[in-house]
Amino acid sequence: MATSSSPDPTGAATSARDTEFRNNSATGARATRGTAHDAVDAQHARFGGIKWGAAFFGWLSANGLAVLLIAAVSAAGVAIGLTEDLDAGQVTDQAGTVGIGGGIALLVVLFLAYLAGGYVAGRMARFDGVRQGIAVWVVGLLVVVVLAILGVVFGSQYNVLSQLNLPRIPIDEGTATTAGIIALVAVLVVTLVGAIVGGTLGERFHRKIDRAGFTA
């Protein structure tokens, strides 16, 4: 006597759960980008804003890369004005070569260094890449100002910036000339732009991940 077989409820339930898992928003197989956008907005509302810890590590990365790039430039002998100790008279006599060549090389190095620093901060913070880049720039500016003030207050023996002998655009420190002011503004603008671009690129990496697997 033949018996009719009833469908296995356990197997059907398991199959339904598997299908639901494959199609749910966790895997992104059938989810829309609108869903991803809503999720990112919720995460940004909770974890967005400037992250000073990320900015600090971005600044450290910028300084580390700057040291490596300056060493490479110095070894190649591209910018002799960054490596030789020149007095004010020599700088004036060689302004056409040392000033332009060394200044351009230093600006390129600083741009790349702060680009990397902003990128590190943007990747670490995940959100608000522009703000993270600006924060990296602000940290660098504050460190320079604090060290300069310490040097003035406690004397030249505590002038860390001078003792480090960091490469700089060859302008006499004791003269606030128009060229010196222009050089300072150029450094500030170049580093700020580099940090902002780097922060934007660091954030964009996470946005690509957030969109991965979602249909239009």
In this prediction the pTM is 0.64
For the chain, percent of residues with pLDDT exceeding 70: 50
Q: For 13-22, 36-45, 88-97, which range has the lowest pLDDT when averaged over its residues?
A: 88-97
Is the pLDDT at 159 greater than 90? The verdict is no
Give the residue extent of every domain in the chain.
Answer: 50-211
Q: What is the mean pLDDT of residues 206-213?
A: 65
C-alpha distances out from residue 152 to 139, 146, 147, Å: 20, 10, 9
Residue pair 130/51 in contact (Cβ under 8 Å)? The answer is: no
**Average pLDDT along the chain:** 70
Is the pLDDT at 91 greater than 50? The verdict is no
Smallest CA-to-CA distance from 110 within 189, 204, 165 is with 189
Tell me how far apart the alpha carbons of residues 99 and 80 are, in angstroms, rounded to a whole number: 10
Residue 99 pLDDT: 58
Res. 22 pLDDT band, cuts 50 70 90: very low
Query: Which has the higher per-residue pLDDT, 78 or 197?
Result: 197
Residue pair 84/163 in contact (Cβ under 8 Å)? The answer is: no
